[in-house]
Amino acid sequence: MTTTHDIATEPAGGGSGRPRRDRHISDFTELTRMVQEAGFMRRRYAHYWTRFVVLTLLLVGLVTTFVLLGPTWWQLLVAVALAVVLGQVMFLGHDAAHRQIFKSGKWNDWASLVIANLYAGMSYGWWNHKHSRHHAKPNTLGVDTDIEPGVLVFTTENLTKTRTGLAAWFAKRQGWFFFPLLLLEGLNLHVSGVKTIFGRGPVKRRPVEIAFVTLRLGGYLALVFWLLPVGMAFAFLGVQLGVFGVYMGASFAPNHKGMPMVPESMKIDFLRRQVLLSRNITGGRWVDVFMGGLNHQVEHHLFPSMPSPALRQVRPMVKQFCAERGITYTETTLARSYGIVVRYLNEVGLKARDPFQCPLVQELRVAR
């Protein structure tokens, strides 16, 4: 969806004129006040220290199991378990990067460096820069790096020329290839981080990032190839990275893929931008654990520094607040979200126009 909608001036309340932009800003200010007064922004130190200790013990246990098992194909089960635990580690690193754990920004930075670089072998600096752009303007063409074209095309605006042959065949079916391609995402995440910290671009605390990532990845590879035969070692790494990539993609993709795309020029206030372009995933506590709290994407985008345990608690307040103002609040099940992602990508590949009804346009029209 690429139509620009200007937020005009309209009468407010008892007939006095007030810019609609100001009214929308005051909406978010009011919601923020409600959230703060309810105590949802308070730090959850016990929760986060518990997660950190449990994940550390699980990693130590998996390394011990790996060494004791020795060269056996049962190690592939260890690889699967390691991928899942590292996924949980990255969820914890995600929370630290969003300043959810400590009041001090410096403490959160160092927590992110330890968790992402030293524990998971990924660059915190690379991920934080990329993710910050996404949070500022999700699903915004030319800004959100998560929808930049690559092997897959996420919006019809990226289809600059007619595809023929194998490329055309793939484009029509790219939705079905989305999850299989995630098997390579784990490797891609590591490579992108390494390229960044060893590149020429600015990286905060570059020496620390290089030291932590080198120690983590170098030690990991040395242990795997020292203990296992070459073929088994590559199989172990392939399974671990493949499962890790699928896990990360399956957790992040449902939140925005298939939601409206907007041009950078569209004028829309922060509250509506974050709510209308995000999708929540419903389910019980197991969904919270599986997705690291990212299933409450609307609330997370509105309040990035809110501790993830509070997202489920604040959801009813946010949902009611949006309903009272006629703001479309989107949520669905995990299975249905995957279906939406696949269908959307296939329709983009077919050069479909407006594959979904755009709640953004509908909302802004109502607000006029």
* Alpha helix segments (H runs only) across 9-74: 20-37, 45-69
Distance CA 169, CA 163 (A): 8
- Whole-number pLDDT of residue 107: 96
pLDDT of amino acid 356: 42
What H or E segment, with its residue span, contains residue 280? Answer: strand 280-281
When computed from its CA atoms, the radius of gyration of the chain, rounded to whole angstroms, is 22
Q: pLDDT of the chain along its 368 residues, tens only? A: 333 333 332 333 344 445 555 555 689 999 999 999 999 999 999 999 999 999 999 999 999 999 999 999 999 999 999 999 999 999 999 999 999 999 999 999 999 999 999 999 999 988 888 888 889 889 888 888 887 777 787 876 656 666 677 877 887 888 899 999 999 999 999 999 999 999 888 888 999 999 999 999 999 999 999 999 999 999 999 999 999 999 999 999 999 998 988 888 888 899 999 999 999 999 889 999 999 999 999 999 999 999 999 999 999 999 999 999 999 999 999 999 999 999 988 888 776 434 344 444 444 444 44
Q: Count the Cβ atoms, other than its own, within 10 Å of residue 46.
A: 8
Q: What is the pLDDT of residue 15?
A: 41
Long-range contacts of 35-39 (CB under 8 A, 24+ apart): 35/303, 35/306, 35/314, 35/317, 38/314, 38/317
Q: What does the alpha-carbon distance between residue 293 and residue 6 come to, in Å, rounded to a whole number?
A: 34
